[in-house]
Amino acid sequence: MKSKTFLSIIMLILLALFSYSSGQNTGSENIVLEGGRMGKVSFPHHIHQNILGDCNYCHNLFPKASNSIKKLKAEGKLKKKEIMNYCRDCHQSKEKNKEKAGPTSCKECHHK
């Protein structure tokens, strides 16, 4: 009897965790970022979520909120090309390690 009760409790906990994670707001699938004179950058947010699996990989630089990058730049808390450099460095690192990598040249990301 005790094992059935224990198993039921475990199942309820797992169900609660699954329900919580599936209801979380994971942001937009695609985000358009200001890219300066080179043109806007279309950022495939959902692809990065699937590949990286850890939101803090990028969100250690900025909060999970709409327009947070733009706001931090306006407040002087993010340098002009800090996010771009972070992305490019990550893509180049993956490329160097022979992993599937994102674009590394200007025109692959920036579109007028």
Condensed to tens digits (0 to 9), the pLDDT of residues 19-51 reads 555 556 788 899 999 999 999 999 999 999 999
In a domain, 20, yes or no: no
The alpha carbon dihedral of 6, 12, 15, 19 has a sign of negative
41 φ/ψ angles, rounded to the nearest 5 degrees: -120, 125
In a domain, 75, yes or no: yes
Regarding pTM above 0.75, the answer is no
In a domain, 16, yes or no: no
In a domain, 85, yes or no: yes
In a domain, 49, yes or no: yes
**Which amino acid belongs to residue 109?**
C
Q: Kindly report the CA angle at 76 between 85 and 38, in degrees rounded to 5?
A: 45
Q: Which of 69, 49, 66, 65 is nearest to 57 (CA)?
A: 49
Classify 101 as helix, strand or coil.
coil
Mean pLDDT of the chain: 87
- Domain total of the chain: 1
Q: Percentage of the chain surpassing pLDDT 70?
A: 79
CATH number for position 49: 3.90.10.10
What is the domain range of residue 82?
A: 27-111
